[in-house]
Amino acid sequence: MTLRPDTKCLCNVQEAVNYSDRAGGVDPSLLILHYTGMESGEAALDWLCGSESGVSCHYFVFEDGQIFQLVPESKRAWHAGQSSWQGEADINSHSIGIEIVNPGHDHGYSEFPPPQIGSLIKLCRDIIKRNAILPRHVLAHSDVAPARKQDPGEKFPWKKLHDNGIGLWVEPVGKAGNDREVLQKGNDGEAVAALQALMALYGYGVELTGNFDEMTHNCVIAFQRHFRPSKIDGIADSSTLATLDALVAELGRDIAALSV
C-alpha cells in the first residue's frame, strides 16, 4: 500500500514494513511517546523501517522538528512491546506511537530541543483531536512498560505539553506531610496496599498485594520519572505520595468533566 500522511502537520513519509491490523479492529485510544535511544536519528529511522528490527512506530520526530510518518494510524505499529495499561496488555492495538529522536540514557541523554518539541506539540494536538484521545491516555513508554523502559525520560517536558492541551499533569509536590510513612521495597501492609490501589487507579500495571514488590518499585520509578523527576529512586516518600494524591484528584476532575 502507498502510505499517505494521516496528519495535517507538514510530514514526510518513509514506510515501515513491521505492522499489522489492530486486534478486533479497535480504534486507537492511547498516545505513547518514546525516545529513539540510538546514537543518531538517521540510524533510528532506518532501524524502525527495516524488516530485521521487528519494531516500528507511527510517527518519528527529528531534533530539527522534521516529522515522518512510517505506519498508517489505522494499523498496529510495533512500538510498545510487552506492556500494559488499565489492565489492557495489547497496547500496540490500542495506541499510536511516536518516536522522538534522543540518544537516551545509554548514549548521552540530552535535553529535547525547542524545534523538536514545537513540532511534537503540533503533531500530538492533531492526533488527539482526530482520534479523541483523552488527556489521561497520553503516556510515556515507561508508564506502560515500567520494568523494561525509561523513555522518554525525566528530561521530557510533560508540563509544556500539558500547557498546550496535551496530557494530564500536576505540579510535583515538595516535602509534604512528613509524618507520612515512607514506603519502599520490602514493606508491606495497608499503606502499601493504598499506594498500589492509587497507582492502579491511574493505570499502572501494579498488583494489589499489599507487598512493596519489584513491580511496585518499578511503577513508582515510572511515576516519578513522569510526574516527580527531581528524584527517581523508587521510594514512595512524602513528596511522591502527595504528588500521586494530586494526580488522582486531577484524574477525578478529568473524568467528571466528561460526564457533564
CA distance 224 to 204: 12
Tens-place pLDDT, residues 141-194: 999 999 999 999 999 999 999 999 999 999 999 876 566 789 999 999 999 999
Q: Which amino acid is at 20?
A: S
User: What average pLDDT does the segment 73-93 reach?
Assistant: 97
For the domain spanning 12-163, the CATH number is 3.40.80.10
pLDDT of res. 1: 60
Reply yes or no on whether 42 is catalytic.
Answer: no
CA distance 196 to 186: 14
pLDDT of res. 174: 85
Task: Give residue 37's region: left, alpha or beta (phi > 0; psi -120 to 50).
Answer: left
Tens-place pLDDT, residues 209-235: 999 999 999 999 999 999 999 999 999
Tell me the pTM: 0.97
- DSSP string across 178-206: TTSPPB-TT-BSHHHHHHHHHHHHHT---
The structural domains of the chain, with segments of one domain joined by +, span 12-163, 190-255
**Protein fold of 190-255:** Muramoyl-pentapeptide Carboxypeptidase; domain 1 (1.10.101)
pLDDT of res. 260: 55
HSE-CB at 225 with a 13 A cutoff on CA atoms is 24
β-strands 59-61, 67-69: how paired? Answer: antiparallel
Q: Which of 39, 52, 99, 207 is catalytic?
A: 99
- Look-up of cell digits 496488555: 89
